Each structure stands twice: as structure tokens, then as C-alpha cells.
Structure 1
């Protein structure tokens, strides 16, 4: 590729021009495979990015040679979004320009991970998300799980002593969770939950948010959450909220989110943040949203937490409309009214919802 070449219109075009195959993953609020057609429309600013976080689109692009599937590279990209949730074209074009220039300057002329060197649009996921991504990518590519998977599976199935949990690699846990629908893994996890060390459960919960648990596992996790709500362990409550956040039964989700919001844990900063960032679909129910806003206004994170969390939620158009509607409720508490005034100015008059 030479500097004289016309700049490609999109990442998809750039990658396809090299003969590379690609798969795209959404790395926003949770990790999931994104259809290529949807990715093309998102990068062309034709479709809003569905899971904005910190006003950015978070993506992983897996690139490989079709003849050598195990030789692959990954680009972790974060792209700024405009007020409508669309990728900013100027940022996309700047990213493309930087990638092309880095390939031109590189020794091998390849679109490998070095192409992202010193790139302001790249990021490195934390340990939990990196492990979950590698587990999901291996499965999607029909590659074997990591060498740590079998030991983790043996522990969950009771083939290793309970106290040997500390010998399990985090990548092995991630592989096990991503493959819960295989080899009776989900059943093994359900059976292990009752005597599972707290440290293991809290490591598993951020991984569980990336899958949709089967009904028996969902019921077992709800039972764990109900028990945790009677304790003073807010970290465990927040972790279990993450574990349950991706269930498909929205009525059930609203029910347990409401139970959390009515508990002593509702004003804990971590708990309220998890509800806002992982269980946001439950807030589409006005009764749940009202309870959430009231607890947020009186939360331990204070006014800064109230303003930060609401700014994040109001970036999503439907949530914004519902929140503005709730702000106009004459029965809102004095504490909520005061927090709204601090965020928007004392003379706040909710603008019309668009």
C-alpha cells in the first residue's frame, strides 16, 4: 500500500483490501459478536453505536489470514461519538490515515497489531475483559480453549478439591464461562455455587455478564443475590448484579433490580453504577427508573456521582426521554429535586424530550 493510494472509506475496506478476514466484537457494556453489516453501518455513521460508554464506541477487530486462522491480530479501538451516538467521521478518517501511515512505515507492511502503535484510538482491556474476549474469540474462530480450561472444568465438576481454587488461572475461568452450554458446564456451575468460595464467585461475575445464563443458572444466581441482600456485603451484591445483567427475561430483571433498589445496598456507589451501566434495560420501566433516581440522588457517591451517572444514561436517547419525564414528576422527592437543580442549575426546566 503506497502513500499515493486513495485513503479507504472504512476500516472494512482497508482490511478487505489486504485479503484479510475479520470479525468484530462490541466491547462496550459487555462483550458480544457484532455482525459485519452492522459494523459497516456504524463506522459509516449510518447507525448509532448501541452500547455507548463514556461517549465512546468500544470495539475489537479480529484480523486473520483466511489460510492460517491461528495467525491473527487484534485491534482494540475506541471511537468518539456525536450527540446522536454516531461515530464521528473525522475521528474515523483520522484513524484510517494513521493506520495506513503506520503500515507504510512498518518493516513488514502488514496490518498487524503494530499498526496501532502510538494510536490515540487504541486501548487495552482490563484482565477480566481481555480474558473474556480471548475466550469468546477462540470459540467464534472454532479454535481450542486455552490450556487452562480443562483444570477449571475439573474443579467445577468436583474432580479437584474445593480448596484448590487458587490454582485456577483466570483465563481458564473465562473459557469455562464462555463454554457454559457445552459438556454440562452450566449444571456443574449450578452445583458448585452453594459451596463456592466468595473470591471465586466474585471473579466469575464479571465474566458471566457476557453470556445469557440458562434458566437453572439464572435461578441459582438470583437465590445468591437474595441471600447477599440480607448481608452488609455490597461488593457481592454488585458482582451478582453483573452476573445477572444479561438475562433475556426483562420482567425478571426488573424484579430483582427493584429488590436491590429497595435494599440497604441501593446507595452504594458500586451497586448503583452496575445498575446504571449493566442493567440499563431495566430502567426503561418507569417504576424502576423512579426508584433508581431517588436512590441515586441520596447515594454515597454524592452530587458528582449523580451527575456523572445520569450524563452517561442520558447519552442514550430513549433513556434520556424517560429520565426527563421522571424529572417532571411533581411527586419527586426534595432530595431528587435538589440534585437535579445542582446538575442543571436551580432554575431547571426540563426541556422537551426529542
Structure 2
């Protein structure tokens, strides 16, 4: 008898199950089975780590039943300092899974009275917050060719100006997530023309979803930048998070403007690290960001450096900049000998 598979990918393959996988951490996006397999084999660091975890949604039909509602596992795998899988908890879950399948090969994966026995008391399992759950459902439905939820019509009417904009608080996450997950350039341009008419709650809801399905058109990015300049407090920051999440050139210019300031607020630094991290894949921007971070007297510099170092594309340039920081720089003064070497 052959040895049982040692990875979740291997178990799915042996059971002839083709799951859909999604990143549910720093970004909410599809994850290829090849990426997940390489991660499980410890051949590849997790590309989108969040809080030192690889947060994944795995959705699949139960074995032998492709017509029922797909099952969904929300799993957060611990990572080592290089972003690779720490396999102990994953292996424990696999042993539990194999034991369950050995007892009930076809029915074991189905939840009993709404409770999935494999997720109960499972240290890998996590409950996504409401926004993450709404965005995941919106993306999964779109990818499966299913219609948007019944809440999308209200959100569509609201943001297109077809219904009154006096009650933005009545919008739920799911409807906004649905229309943002299915947006195109035409819709982005429509939204760009109406951002100034939205109340604070509606604008924040739209921006919160755009953080994970970022703008692609110059018109929407310009409109977000304008609202960032005229709104205040958390509403302004929500516009910055949505805009800087984009990989377009206008968003990179926005990052340059922020980093060119003499003093950068802690919240701006956090936005760049969490939503605009891809703009830091640039020598000048990364150096400027690190100097601003070093000057902050309130942010935990060690924590932020560890988070950024887990990003595969930032790890090497970040380490090199930490080692080569000029002796008279704020960065060098903040770094301990242990951190630098």
C-alpha cells in the first residue's frame, strides 16, 4: 500500500477533487493550485502573507457530490521567518482529516447541523471578518459564473445615482462587494463622477472594497485623491487605502507625493506598508519609506520590518537596505546590532 499523501493538495488529488483556492489575507484573490502545492512542499514562500500567516479559503464539492453547495475551509497556516510553511499544524490537520475520511469516506466532509467537524477546535481554522467574507463570496460567485447576491441591485442603484443617496448607512457589505468585484472601466468612470456626492459611510464602504479590488482607471484614482484631500480623518484615509492599493502609475505618483513629505503620519506609513507595499518594490521609495518609519516614535519598527520582510519580492532589497543604511541616517540609529546583522 502506498503511503498516504502528506499534503492537502495530495489528498485532494487522490480524491479527484479540484478545489478553488483564494488568498484571504493581504489581498483577496484567486490562488493557483500550483502555488499552494509549492507552498505545502516548502518550495515557495507564501506570496501574500498577512500577520505571519498564509490565510486561505479552499472551496470544493464533497467527494462524489458535485451538485450540492460547495464546502469552504478557511485556514491560516503559520509561516517561518522566510515566509515558508511551518508544517506541524498542517500535518496535525491532515492526520485528523485522514482519520475522519477513514471512518466515513463519502459523508465525513459534510457539515453536521451547520457545524463542520473538521473545523471545530481546529487551530488552523479562522473566521473571516464580515468584509472579508463578503468579498470572498462576491469573488467566488463571480468566478463560478453565478449571479451576484440579491443585495447588489440596491448597491448598484445607490452608486449609480438611481436611488437616493441620503441613507448610505443602509448599504450592507455584500451588495457593495458584489458590484466592486464585477466592476469594469466604464463603471469605475461612473463612480469617479459621483464620489463627491456620497456620504461618508457610503464612500468608506466603497473604498473598503476597492482596497481588495483596486482601481485601474486614472479617473477613479484622481477622484479618490481629490476626496482624500477634501475629506478628513478616517474617511480621507479610506480613500488613500483604496487608491494606493492600485498598481497603476497614478497610484505610484501618489506614493511618491506621500514619501516626499518632510514628515509622514503613522497612518500614512501603515497604508503604504499594508495596501501600497508593491510601490515599495522600488529602491528610492523603499529607502524613503524606511527613513520615515525610523523617524516615527510611536510605530513598532521591528514589527513592521518583519511583516514586510515576509513579502518575497521585498525581502532581499529590505535586508540589503537595513545592512547598508548610512551610519548617520535615522534608520541606522534606530536599528540594533542584532537587527542589522
SS in 2 for 1:253: helix
CA contact (8 A) 2:80 2:86 kept: yes
What does 1:161-240 correspond to in 2, within 5 Å? 161-181=164-184, 184-215=186-217, 218-229=218-229, 233-240=232-239
CA distance in 2: counterparts of 1:196 and 1:265, whole angstroms: 30
Q: Secondary structure at the match of 1:214?
A: coil
Normalised by the length of structure 1, the TM-score is 0.83
1:25-47 alpha-carbon deviations (Å, 9 max, x no partner): 01121110112222222222222
Unpaired runs of 5+ residues, structure 1, are: none
Range with greater deviation from structure 2 (271-280 or 239-248): 239-248
Query: Which of 146, 151, 155 is the matching residue for 1:148?
Result: 151
Q: How many angstroms does 1:229 deviate by?
A: 4.2
Give, in whole Å, the separation in 1 of the partners of 2:229 and 2:192: 20
What does the per-residue CA deviation read over 1:190-245, in whole Å, with 9 as the maximum and x for residues that have no partner? 23212111221222222112224231xx43333432552476x3423432232124
Runs of at least 5 residues in structure 2 that lack an aligned partner in the other structure: none
| Structure 1 position 309, deviation (Å) | 0.5
Residues 1:126 and 1:100: Cα distance change in structure 2 (over 3 Å): same
Shift of 1:95: 1.9
Partners of 2:188 and 2:220 within 8 A in 1:
no
2-structure distance, mates of 1:74, 1:35: 16
Distance 1:71 1:329 in 2: 54
Please name the residue that 1:274 is paired with: 271
Decide whether the 8 Å contact of 1:254 with 1:288 is kept in 2.
Answer: no
Q: CA deviation at 1:97?
A: 1.1
SS in 1 for 2:335: helix
The aligned residue for residue 292 of structure 2 is 295
- Count residues in correspondence: 334
Residue 330 in 1 paired to residue 323 in 2? no
**In the alignment, structure 1 residue 312 sits paired with structure 2 residue 307:** yes
Alpha-carbon contact 1:254-1:285 (below 8 Å) kept? no
In structure 2, the residue corresponding to 1:116 is in which secondary structure? coil
Moved more, 128-137 or 91-100: 91-100
**Is the 2:325–2:332 Cα contact (8 Å) retained in structure 1?**
no
The TM-score, its normalising length taken from structure 2, stands at: 0.86
**Corresponding position of 2:27:** 30
1:114 aligns to what?
117
Select 1:48's aligned residue among 36, 45, 48. Answer: 45
